[in-house]
């Protein structure tokens, strides 16, 4: 699955996804994503390679790259336990870093 950006605020009935937010595609059915893409309400998020990440995330780029995780989307979608093993932190710390990435790349003012 991919990471998407909400181009409009979406109410899924289970959660409110604010305009500009990035979110995992797993939050929605594939058929819903296709419809929302056609309507211009979501788009696959364009995220940087791990080597272009700002501090403090950049310190993990070499380890992530060696493990085959080459961009922020792959990092955000990966199992936090696996990420923890790769970068040498606890699983809760890995999950926290992933949550921080979602916040980092979300911009409520962004429309595309």
pLDDT digits 0-9 by tens, 7-57:
999 998 889 999 999 999 999 999 999 999 999 999 999 999 999 999 999
Could you tell me if 66 and 52 are in contact, meaning their C-beta atoms sit under 8 angstroms apart?
Answer: no
Single pTM value for the model:
0.86
* Residue ranges covered by each domain of the chain: 3-44, 50-105
**C-alpha distances out from residue 17 to 6, 11, 28, 70, Å:** 7, 6, 11, 26
Average pLDDT, the chain: 93
């Amino acid at each position: 699955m991919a990471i998407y950006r909400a181009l409009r605020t979406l109410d899924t009935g289970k959660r409110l996804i604010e305009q500009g937010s990035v979110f995992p595609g797993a939050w929605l059915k594939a058929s819903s994503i296709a419809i929302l893409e056609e309507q211009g309400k979501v788009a696959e998020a364009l995220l940087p390679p791990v080597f272009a990440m700002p501090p403090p995330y950049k310190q993990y780029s070499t380890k992530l790259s060696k493990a085959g995780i080459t961009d922020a989307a792959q990092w955000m979608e990966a199992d936090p336990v696996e990420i923890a093993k790769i970068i040498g932190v606890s699983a809760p710390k890995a999950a926290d870093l992933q949550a921080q990435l979602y916040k980092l790349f979300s911009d409520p003012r962004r429309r595309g």
